[in-house]
Structure 1
Amino acid sequence: MRLVVIGNGMVGSRFVEDVLRRDTVGKYDVTVIGAEGCEPYNRVLLSEVVAGRYDLTSLTLPTPHHPRLTVLRGTAAASIDRDDRVVTTTDGSRHRYDQLVLATGAAARIPPLVGLDSGTGTLPLGVHSLRSIDDAREIVAATLNSRRAVVLGAGVLGIEAASGLAQRGCAVTIIHPAAALMERQLDGSASRVLASAMPELGIHPRVGVGAEAAVVANGRLTGIRLTDGDVVESDLLLVATGTIANTELAAEAGLACERGILVDDSASTADARIFAVGDCAQPPNGAMGLVALGWDQARALADRLTGTAPRSRGSDATSSDIVRVKAHGLDVVTMGVCGGSRADDPAQRTLSLSDPDAGRHVEVVVSGDRLVGATCIGAGQLAADLVAAYTRRTPVPSDPARLLLTALSATPAAPTTPDALPDDSSVCRCNSVTKAEIMTAHACGARSVDDIARATRATTGCGGCKDEVCGLLSWLNEHAPATAVV
């Protein structure tokens, strides 16, 4: 059976790997059509490249080499003929399919500001988005001659990008028209604590004010005019105002699209032979934008197409709604119920501790005897403890205020040691990799973080588990020497 996948990004490549791993009877011959000319890479860590903590080569993801797999890199799909079941590419080649998976991802959203639209489809010099390896490379090069930068948008990516530019020596102004930074995750109190920590890092937040126009001279950016009339001088603008799903191909083929390609809970479109996963897809719950959600879709679709029973995930809950900000000097972790616009649920109890002078804010949301949400700024080990309680669904104390005692203590509780961590606990939550799976990989000879990544995919998501994997690996090397399996 001919399976064609359009898109070779983080979700498309993961889906292909999942299908080939499960397809032990050789049901599918797989063709992947990828517009980018490189191997798939970890797009989540592009802000870490801007900050200088990763180089571009370290972002490459493990890819399968398989006799039933053909990958066409640097080749874009031009059209889908649903009647003839053919995908035609921009070079004129035709690829027949029995089943088709769309993983076309999303593009950076460029706001309709005066000065950004030159009428030629290109942005003025000095204006960038951060969506691809090429974008990251251009931004790093631009910082060599830039000293004043503006980041438009203070969601997770905007704050990470601002931190990266500050690490590169730029004085950064971050502009956000909403009333709170990261308003999907933070309420006003949490936002104010986060904003108060930024100036020490070379980042100056302007919250509650938007951008009105880009000031351009001779085709090059010189500043940003704000809605309050101020002009912020800048020679580099990084736009982080969200994404737009790549739905053009699907829409031209007659598939229903709104913000994304409409799919049901099993990733099926209205055409029984066509599926969509990742940022381009719009499932019934509307969830889009987090790679862990796309990987969940890819995994479930691979199970369905190959007739494989869904994999057990141990005792931990799915944790695709955990957000960790990767920004030097800014310790922000949120999970579950959080943010200023959350619904008022009388069954939920909220307790908070806010200490702006110490750069610390902690809020926990409890329903019954379970932690259903938390916001942690400057909370250190407490954030890790709350993530563990949230994902493992462990009962909270009868007095939930005890959850905050670590934040109040002058001597925080010691972190859980690897030997005390249950074997079925998730270490890499993006990929649902447990301690037991890492121990198995170690027993099979995995001695480095790269070895563990190749064997289990741990650390290939948001990167937030890397320290935990390193600690577990060091403990295993000391206490459980690897024994290769023959």
Structure 2
Amino acid sequence: MTRLVVIGNGMVGSRFVEDLLGADAAGRYDVTVVGAEACEPYNRVLLSEVVAGKHDLSALTLPTPQSPRLTVLRGEQADHLDREDRVVVTAGGGRLRYDRLVLATGSAARVPPLPGLRAADRGDGGGADDGTLTHGVHGLRSIDDAREIVAATLNAQRAVVLGAGVLGMEAACGLARRGVAVTVVHPASTLMERQLDEEAGRVVELAMSGLGIDHRVGVGATEALVEDGRLRGLRLDDGEIVPADLLVLATGTVPSTVLATTAGLSVDRGVVVDDDLRSPDDHRVFAIGDCAQPPEGGSGLVAQGWEQSRRLAALLCGSISGGAELLPTRPTAASPRPSSVGSDVVRLKAHGLDVVTMGVCGSQRVDDPAQRTLRLSDPDVGRHVEVVVSGGLLVGATCVGAGAVAADLVTTYTRRTPVPADPAYLLLPALMPGPASAPTSPDAIPDDATICRCNGVSKAAIVACVHDGATSVPDVAAATRATTGCGGCSDDVCALVEWLSPAASTSKDALGTTAMAFSPSDVRPGENHVTKGKHMNHNAETAAS
């Protein structure tokens, strides 16, 4: 039996364990998981929706698979690695021997080096949150963070969100939905600069104003103002003081690499790994998810971590014969790396804002003469659509306030469908009155069409699942993982199951909502009317991130 230790029990670590146990038909591995958090793994992607009141915390839980070959140590911190003796030493003094070690330690919320953010400001230049924050200052990285922010909104009158990336925008909209006056402060020249250029960002700014969310874009913060140990405001670099009794930090993350660093493994921004996700310093050690730095770089999106999980599980279960050493392998023409097209699709889960981006986008992209860009921008109605075409394919798109068009573009992008000879036709649906396209009958959807993009679940997989006896969305989630990522496909999966099994009690009994007519053109139907019951399907995932 090969001893495998996984450090980290988050969305990627727990997914890897499930992938490995599912692929390990020969029963080669005895798996031990060390998780610092005392709870079951949970869907961290949806924490902002807990802040918005769309989910209860219990709906995010991802149960651990059951296996006699699996031991999970919850609430146990890995202290250091002894690579020479192949041992993980825990904070409690435990010693876990390994033959293979997988680091899935994730990342921590970055706390910027602003005076006043920490209760005992050390002026150490920021970094990971390793100190107590001032009362009223919160990150948003864990269930505890979300719980504390929700509790703070009961008394908070004015909130500031520092950072307007995806998480910051979602948090701001969530706080506004709870009735708190919100100001977003972002030092870059545009909101969500990794996804939006300045023109698209201005359209989003106008939409935010319509939601009652104030913003300071292109202005940074210099100091958190504290009185009697409590936050009172934020001083900006132009001298303005923004009053606040609640500050949410959405200033990025720092990969958790302390274990790797102290063990002498190569670390840059993350734990350096090769194409096989293996440390170049130790062929027994691997890293996946936010803590890893693969050759292509880290995206910070869970889809990349899940793709790494599947790939590593396949590698470990397919490359060992008897007691042979696991030797490095590289992608070849005959066995290429799995496609990651579609893993960079970003949907903003924010009440009142409709933003979808994919591929080539954002204010920091590099000009490429081989790419042709076409755009339609109408800020007065809150709409901006941009497509980027190269080699007859859609290689990028930005959609603000055009959800139905965005869904069509996502399908074109992820399926690598050739675009029209005149790519301007891609923009025409945005000009049509009413819905961009009529609802499509499920029987007209190709079998290989991807329904759940987070988990790569096709229509064919859902059809097969229902034919095998699934009668509800939770059944489909347990068997395929569909709906267990961002949750955006829940209504489509519901409608598809209902179409396949008219007698199934999908929408009312299992979800607490009425199923829509299936339409792949609707990006997030019912987004603003999510119910607790609907998302209890997350609990069924590991019974499957």
CA distance in 2, matches of 1:150, 1:481: 43
1:119-134 equivalence runs, <5 A: 119=120, 121-134=131-144
Q: Tell me whether 1:136 sits opposite 2:146 in the alignment.
A: yes
CA distance in 2, matches of 1:282, 1:228: 36
8 Å contact 1:2–1:99 — kept in the other structure?
yes
Q: Which amino acid aligns with 1:281?
A: A
Q: Which amino acid aligns with 1:197?
A: A
Q: Tell me whether 1:185 sits opposite 2:185 in the alignment.
A: no
1:278-427 equivalence runs, <5 A: 278-307=289-318, 318-411=341-434, 412-427=436-451
Give the CA deviation at 1:316.
8.9
8 Å contact 1:224–1:232 — kept in the other structure?
yes
1:71-150 equivalence runs, <5 A: 71-119=72-120, 121-150=131-160
C-alpha distance 481-238 of structure 1, shift in aligned 2 (>3 A)? closer
SS of aligned partner of 1:273: strand
SS of aligned partner of 1:318: coil
TM-score of the aligned structures, taking structure 2 as reference length: 0.86
Q: Which amino acid aligns with 1:234?
A: A
Give the CA deviation at 1:308.
7.6
CA distance in 2, matches of 1:79, 1:365: 47
SS of aligned partner of 1:386: helix
Give the CA deviation at 1:479.
8.7
C-alpha distance 466-43 of structure 1, shift in aligned 2 (>3 A)? same
CA offsets 1:377-409 (integer angstroms, 9 cap, x no match): 000211100000001111111111111111011
1:442 to 466, 472, 475: 466
Give the CA deviation at 1:441.
1.5
8 Å contact 1:262–1:281 — kept in the other structure?
yes
The corresponding residue for 1:464 is: 488
8 Å contact 1:316–1:424 — kept in the other structure?
no
8 Å contact 1:318–1:429 — kept in the other structure?
no
CA distance in 2, matches of 1:213, 1:416: 53
1:145-184 equivalence runs, <5 A: 145-184=155-194
Q: Which amino acid aligns with 2:221?
A: A
CA distance in 2, matches of 1:106, 1:44: 13
CA distance in 2, matches of 1:373, 1:432: 19
8 Å contact 2:3–2:97 — kept in the other structure?
yes
CA offsets 1:428-449 (integer angstroms, 9 cap, x no match): 1111111111111212222222
The corresponding residue for 1:39 is: 40
CA distance in 2, matches of 1:55, 1:259: 34
CA offsets 1:86-109 (integer angstroms, 9 cap, x no match): 001111111000000000000000
The corresponding residue for 2:214 is: 204
Q: Which amino acid aligns with 1:431?
A: N
Q: Tell me whether 1:454 sits opposite 2:483 in the alignment.
A: no
Instruction: Work out the number of aligned pairs and report it.
Output: 480
Comparing 404-413 and 159-168, the one that deviates more:
404-413
The corresponding residue for 1:265 is: 275
CA distance in 1, matches of 2:504, 2:460: 13
Give the CA deviation at 1:329.
0.8
Comparing 137-146 and 415-424, the one that deviates more:
415-424
The corresponding residue for 2:518 is: none
8 Å contact 1:443–1:481 — kept in the other structure?
no
SS of aligned partner of 2:502: helix
SS of aligned partner of 1:198: helix
CA offsets 1:140-162 (integer angstroms, 9 cap, x no match): 00000012100000000000000
TM-score of the aligned structures, taking structure 1 as reference length: 0.96
SS of aligned partner of 1:63: coil
CA distance in 2, matches of 1:448, 1:479: 10
Gaps of 5+ in 2: 122-130, 321-330, 507-545
Comparing 181-190 and 449-458, the one that deviates more:
449-458
CA offsets 1:11-39 (integer angstroms, 9 cap, x no match): 00000000000101110000000000011
SS of aligned partner of 1:339: coil
CA distance in 2, matches of 1:347, 1:440: 41
Comparing 167-176 and 115-124, the one that deviates more:
115-124
Higher RCO (C-alpha under 8 Å, 6+ residues apart)? 2
Q: Which amino acid aligns with 2:246?
A: L
Give the CA deviation at 1:317.
6.5
SS of aligned partner of 1:347: coil
CA offsets 1:118-158 (integer angstroms, 9 cap, x no match): 32721111100100001000000000001210000000000
CA distance in 2, matches of 1:254, 1:409: 59
SS of aligned partner of 2:499: helix
Q: Which amino acid aligns with 1:204?
A: D
Comparing 335-344 and 6-15, the one that deviates more:
335-344
The corresponding residue for 1:29 is: 30
1:224-235 equivalence runs, <5 A: 224-235=234-245
CA distance in 2, matches of 1:200, 1:449: 35
Q: Please, what is the CA RMSD of the aligned residues? A: 1.9
CA distance in 1, matches of 2:473, 2:232: 43
Give the CA deviation at 1:481.
11
C-alpha distance 185-233 of structure 1, shift in aligned 2 (>3 A)? same
Q: Which amino acid aligns with 1:324?
A: R
Report percent identity of matched pairs: 67
Gaps of 5+ in 1: none
CA offsets 1:143-201 (integer angstroms, 9 cap, x no match): 00012100000000000000110111101000000001000010000000000000221
Q: Which amino acid aligns with 1:320?
A: S
Give the CA deviation at 1:464.
1.8
Give the CA deviation at 1:57.
0.5
Comparing 464-473 and 335-344, the one that deviates more:
464-473
CA offsets 1:232-284 (integer angstroms, 9 cap, x no match): 11110000000000000110011111110010111000201000000000111
8 Å contact 2:307–2:340 — kept in the other structure?
no
The corresponding residue for 2:514 is: none
